[in-house]
Amino acid sequence: MAETRVNFSLWISGFGLGLIGDHIFYFVLAWSAAQIANSPLQASLVVTVGALLRATFILFGGAVTDRIGARRAALYSDFFRFIIAGTFALFIALFGINIWVLYALSLTFGFIDAFFLPAVGAMPPRIVSAKALPRAQSARSVVQRIAAAIGPPLGGLILGTQGLSQPLLICAFLFLSSFLLLQFVKELSGQGCSEGEPSDNGGIRDGIRYAISDSVLCPALILITVGELIVSGLTISGLAIFGTDQNWSSAQTSFALSAFGIGAIFTALLMLIKQPKGRIGTLVTSSIVIMGFGFASVGIFSQIVLIYAGLAIAGASSGVCATLLITLFLVAADKAYTGRVMSLLTLASFGVAPIANFLFGAVADWIGPAHAFIIFGAVLSIVGVGTWSTPRIRAFEILSI
């Protein structure tokens, strides 16, 4: 038991450090694009191209994870993230920055993320027992929210004083630290594919067929996809575009993202202390409705404190949805398909980002960023009301193991 706790502590530490680097990276990328680009649409396209490449290859990344082992796939991709961040930091320091450098950075990082995200996400079922999995997922959700709260402000503060190369160097250091910690993580015997024992249980199509035929995984995937189609555009490039429109500094914009993360930390901690069991469908759909109101408040209020409060409410609701739905996935999925199921989940979570960013940029170009937040928030609340009326979603259940 003590060895398992140490094992999970190493994983969660490596995962958390890498995730902080992720949040720094995507914030400074979006902010730099918003400053250099000529329009909100062009700024959103910088983030969109990388997200599109990630979406294109992420199912392949999940299949690779199941074939060579989650730990090995995570280590390889984490090391390449370190190389990419360090190389671009050096290039920008020597030759400067323009919109094409941002496009290249977004594309390169998006490709590697397609392998890292499903790999690191598939590791918990292979390093902790099934009984400990729901609590492990709650701990993971807390770390995700902490990273979302501290990563953007850190990136924003450094970006405001040092330029893009310095945040990228910090990202490289965090990715290297993550890589070194994950080196010491050991997969438990009997917990799926381990190193030296490649899986031969089919490829991408088998994983897709398995997920869409499952009565729990399929509707959950649809719900996550629709929700992320709205939320991704608001949090990835939306706040950077809104902050630029409002003449906010990079620090003020990063603290807006931090408010969203702090709200999510609060609910994730609550669920770590008290694990929800049984029917969770109503709790999930109610959270979606509240999240929509929180995002809409960004466009409604002019005072920055009220905007931060609305984002904190949206984050708290997001923390409920994310923790419960990902726990549902990990508990329900067969371990032989964990990598591919997690790649589908990641595709649902991040793969819609190209569409979401493009859509928000187009709407913001048309009616302005503030009105875009109101419309997107209202649509999200409508989605929550609509999904509550769906029996299969109301029937979502996390059983005690």
- State which H helix or E strand residue 110 sits in: helix 99-121
Is 60 exceeded by the pLDDT of residue 276?
Answer: yes
Report yes or no: 193 and 199 within 8 Å, Cβ to Cβ: yes
Strands (E), 219-301: 278-279
Report the Cα 290 to chain-centroid distance in Å.
20
Q: What is the pLDDT of residue 260?
A: 87
Helix (H, G, I), strand (E, B), or coil: what is residue 398? Answer: strand
Please give the backbone phi and psi of residue 397, each rounded to the nearest 5 degrees, phi first.
Answer: -145, 135
- What confidence category does residue 278 fall into, taking pLDDT thresholds of 50, 70 and 90? low
Greater model confidence, 33 or 216: 33
Report yes or no: 376 and 233 within 8 Å, Cβ to Cβ: yes
d(CA 138, CA 330): 12
Residues 6+ apart with CB under 8 A from 46: 29, 30, 33, 37, 99, 102, 103, 106
DSSP state of 279: E
Is 80 exceeded by the pLDDT of residue 376?
Answer: yes
Beta bridge partners of 279: 397
| Six token digits for residue 336 | 């032989």
Greater model confidence, 65 or 343: 65
d(CA 96, CA 383): 44
DSSP state of 274: S
Domain boundaries, the chain: 2-186+203-398
Closest CA to 72 of 194, 191, 174: 194
Closest CA to 167 of 108, 241, 252, 254: 254
Question: DSSP letters of 328-357?
Answer: HHHHHS-GGGHHHHHHHHHIIIIITHHHHH
d(CA 318, CA 339): 24
d(CA 303, CA 293): 16
> Quick one: CATH architecture of 2-186+203-398?
Up-down Bundle (1.20)
What does pTM read for this prediction? 0.68
Residues composing the chain:
401
pLDDT cut 70: percent of the chain above it: 86
- What confidence category does residue 400 fall into, taking pLDDT thresholds of 50, 70 and 90? very low
Helix (H, G, I), strand (E, B), or coil: what is residue 397? Answer: strand
DSSP state of 38: S
Q: Map tokens 């993360």 to a residue.
A: 261
**What is the per-residue pLDDT across 296-352, written as a single tens digit (0 to 9) for each?**
999 999 889 999 999 999 989 988 887 777 777 766 667 667 667 777 777 776 667
